[in-house]
């Protein structure tokens, strides 16, 4: 049986899957329609991504897409360990600009609703991550926030050792940032 645990951010869920082990190895269901309904994930899976990050301390994110391409994302750790972060950027939300993080290891997920951004830090690599997304990536809709943004003040558990060029050049939030409509 899979366990779905709520978090302090509305719509963000930590999911732990039941892994079936035997002499051949293991098996786990990543997703099905009932599981997605339990996460309140409306719509369908439009895109599936895979990433592999080798260096401990590496941060990927903080990313999301603006409307009309804003959608949910379920991030599943396949191997390694990560510190997975959801950031509420929904305008009018009672948890606007708050973040919540969960350590994920193999076959654990964080479901992130539309209007929340995502980032992770590798705690133990290589870390392989599978992303189920309700919207296909549209470069013109991308919203990036610098991972060391002082407004959000995400408490990374390790020193940030590696950022992509795009993440290191991402802007910080300003006082004019009013969030994204959902």
User: C-alpha distances in angstroms, 118 versus 22, 33, 133, 147, 166?
Assistant: 34, 23, 12, 10, 15
Geometric angle at alpha carbon 117, from 114 and 118, rounded to 5°: 120
Q: What is the pTM of this model?
A: 0.93
- Please report, in angstroms and rounded to a whole number, the separation of the first and last CA atoms in the chain: 31
50 part of the active site: no
- Is residue 20 within 8 A of residue 103, CB to CB? The reply is no
Answer yes or no: 63 catalytic.
yes
- Among 20, 40, 50, 131, the active-site one is 131
Whether 98 contacts 8, CB under 8 Å: yes
State the catalytic residue, choosing from 14, 63, 100, 111: 63
Under DSSP, is residue 140 helix (H, G, I), strand (E, B) or coil? helix
Report the C-alpha gap between 117 and 88 in whole angstroms. 7
- From first to last of its 182 residues, the chain has per-residue pLDDT tens of 578 899 999 999 999 888 889 999 988 888 877 777 777 778 889 999 999 999 999 999 999 999 999 999 999 999 999 999 999 999 999 999 999 999 999 999 999 999 999 999 999 999 999 999 999 999 999 999 999 999 999 999 999 999 999 999 999 998 788 888 87
Helix (H, G, I), strand (E, B) or coil at 148: coil
């Amino acid at each position: 049986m899979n366990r779905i645990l709520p978090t302090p951010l509305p719509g963000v869920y930590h999911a732990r899957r039941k892994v079936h082990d035997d002499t051949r190895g293991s098996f786990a269901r990543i997703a099905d329609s009932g599981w997605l309904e339990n996460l309140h994930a409306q719509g369908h899976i439009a895109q599936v991504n895979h990433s592999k990050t080798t260096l401990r301390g590496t941060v990927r994110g903080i990313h999301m897409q603006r409307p009309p391409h804003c959608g949910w994302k379920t991030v599943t750790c396949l191997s390694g360990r990560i510190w997975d972060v959801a950031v509420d950027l929904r305008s009018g939300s009672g948890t606007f600009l708050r973040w919540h993080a969960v350590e994920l290891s193999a076959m654990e997920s964080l479901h992130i609703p539309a209007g929340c951004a995502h980032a992770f830090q590798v705690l133990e690599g290589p870390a392989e991550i599978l992303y189920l997304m309700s919207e296909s990536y549209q470069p013109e809709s991308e919203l990036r926030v610098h991972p060391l943004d002082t407004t959000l003040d995400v408490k990374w558990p390790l020193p940030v050792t590696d950022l992509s060029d795009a993440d290191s050049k991402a802007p910080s939030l300003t006082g004019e940032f009013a969030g994204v409509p959902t």
